[in-house]
Structure 1
Amino acid sequence: MPPTRLTALLLAWLLAAGSPDAGAAKPAAPAPLQGAVTQVIDGDTVRFSVPGQPAIDLRLASIDAPELCQPWGPEARKALIELALNKPATLRTTGRDGARTVGVLTVDGLNISQRLVEDGHAWSVRGRNGRGPFVKHERMAQSLTRGLHAGGGAVYPADFRRDRGPCR
C-alpha cells in the first residue's frame, strides 16, 4: 500500500476512534456565586464574600492592572472601588493563581474586567499568540488616551515588577 494511502487510512481510523477520553464527561463548571466585594486590594484583586462562607481573595480574570506603587496604580484601585465595592455581585471562578481564586466578576450584568480595560485602568492579559479577550477594548482605550494610556509611557505590570521588584 502506498504511504499516502496508509497515512489516510490511519488518519481516518484515528478520527473515528476519537481521543482516549472522548467519551468521558467533562467536569461541570462550578455554579456562579452570589455575594459582594467587601474589600478592594488593588486594581485587579478584591475580597469577595458569600454569606455564610469564608471570604475569597479574587484576582480578576483576563486583566492586569498597574501595581499600587506604579503610576496609575492608585487610580486603577479607585476605579475598581467605584465599580464594585459593597455592591451585589456574581463570581464565576475560572481557576487559581497561587493562593488566590481567579474569576469573572459581574456587577449589574457588567463584566468588571472588561470595563476596567475599556476605561484604561488595566491591560488585557495576552496568551502566547498575543491575543487576549479584551485586546480590542485595550486598543480603543489607547487610541482614545483613556486612563493609564493618557500620559504615555505606561509600563505593563509584569515589566514593572521585573525591573523594579514588588511594591513594598
Structure 2
Amino acid sequence: MYPRFSSGSRRRGGHYLATFVSAVMLLAWWLPAAAQGIVVGQVSRVHDGDTLTIAQHDGELLVRLAAIDAPEAEQPFGSASRDSLVGCALGRTAVVEVLGSDRHGRTLGIVFAADQDCGLNQLRKGMAWFYRQYAHEQPSRRRIDYAAAERLARRQRTGLWADDAPLPPAAWRQQNPRFVAPAPR
C-alpha cells in the first residue's frame, strides 16, 4: 500500500539535504556578516571624497564610506577625489550596506550607486587610501577587493599615487590643524 523506497532513494534524500546545507552556507558567506541594515535613498550632497548625504522620505542621513580615507578638501587631490565621488553617486539612488557609525556619529557603510561600489571605485581611481585600520569592519571579501584596488592604483600611479609621496589624510590633518573642519552634519 505504501511505496517502498529503495536504498537509492535514501541516498538521493541525503543528497538533497547536503545540497540544501551547502546552499545555506554559500548564502551565509555571500551575505555581509557585518551589515546592520540596508538604507536606500537619493544622494543629495557629496561633502568630500568619502562622505555624502542620502535623502530619504523621513530625512537625511550622513554617510561615511567604509574602509577608505580620501584627501581633505584643502589637501592635494582633495577636489579631484570629491569630484570622483560626485561622478559615482550624486543625484543617483544609492543602496547603503550599514556597518555601524564612526566616532563623529556618521553612518558608516558601503555605498552602491549605479551598480558600483563607490568606495571601491574611489580606490580604483586612486582617489583614496584603503583604511586598513578599520578594514576589520568590512566583510572579508570586500577587504580583499579594496586592498587589491589600492595596490593596482599605486602600481599604475593612478590619481593621488602619481605624486611621489602622497600624504595620508590623518598625517595631513596633524600637519594642518587649522584646515580641519568638524564633520558635516
The separation in 2 between residues aligned to 1:87 and 1:96, in whole angstroms, is 22
Structure 2 equivalent of residue 121 of structure 1: 127
The separation in 2 between residues aligned to 1:70 and 1:121, in whole angstroms, is 12
Kindly, what percent of the aligned residue pairs are identical? Answer: 31
TM (normalized to structure 1)?
A: 0.77
Return the letter of the residue paired with 1:86: G
Shift of the alpha carbon at 1:108? 2.4
Q: Following superposition, which runs of at least 4 residues in structure 1 exceed 4 angstroms of deviation?
A: 128-132
The separation in 1 between residues aligned to 2:78 and 2:126, in whole angstroms, is 11
Structure 2 equivalent of residue 151 of structure 1: 163
Q: Which moved more, 1:131-140 or 1:119-128?
A: 131-140
The separation in 2 between residues aligned to 1:129 and 1:87, in whole angstroms, is 26
Confirm or deny: 8 A CA contact 2:49 2:78 kept in the other structure. yes
Confirm or deny: 8 A CA contact 2:37 2:99 kept in the other structure. no
The separation in 2 between residues aligned to 1:30 and 1:120, in whole angstroms, is 28
User: Structure 2 unaligned runs (5+)?
Assistant: 1-33, 181-185
Aligned length: 141
Which of the residues 71, 78, 82 maps onto 2:83?
A: 78
User: Structure 1 unaligned runs (5+)?
Assistant: 1-27
Distance 1:40 1:162, change over 3 A: same
The separation in 2 between residues aligned to 1:101 and 1:166, in whole angstroms, is 25
Q: Secondary structure at the match of 1:32?
A: strand
Structure 1 equivalent of residue 151 of structure 2: 139
Return the letter of the residue paired with 1:151: D
Alignment of 1:1-168 (within 5 A): 29-50=35-56, 52-97=57-102, 98-127=104-133, 133=143, 134-165=146-177, 167=179
Shift of the alpha carbon at 1:128? 8.2
Q: Which moved more, 1:73-82 or 1:151-160?
A: 151-160
Q: CA RMSD in A?
A: 2.5
Whichever structure has more helix as a proportion of its residues is 2
The separation in 2 between residues aligned to 1:129 and 1:103, in whole angstroms, is 12
